[in-house]
Amino acid sequence: MLKAALIFLVAGLVLGALGFGGIGGAFVGIAKILFFVAIAVFLIFLVLGLTAVKKVT
């Protein structure tokens, strides 16, 4: 998911530099959403992993 966010970010920056501001801005917006979703999933799995270890031992 972070790979997709990075691809959208780079594509958005390139499009913005070439003058396609609207499409570039949309790509950067999608990259932000994907980044925050990836962080949220990471935190959820981190909490689940920490609680599962405590229950097993």
* Predicted confidence (pLDDT) per residue in 39-48, tens digit: 999 999 999 9
- Predicted confidence at residue 2, as pLDDT, reads 87
How far apart are the C-alpha atoms of 27 and 16, rounded to whole Å?
10
Mean residue pLDDT across the chain: 89
Percentages helix, strand, coil for the chain (3-state, rounded to 5) are: 90, 0, 10
At 12-21, the pLDDT tens digits run 999 999 999 8
Between 56 and 36, the more confident residue is: 36
Rounded distance between C-alpha atoms, residue 7 and residue 32, angstroms: 11
Rounded CA-CA distance 3/5 in Å is 5
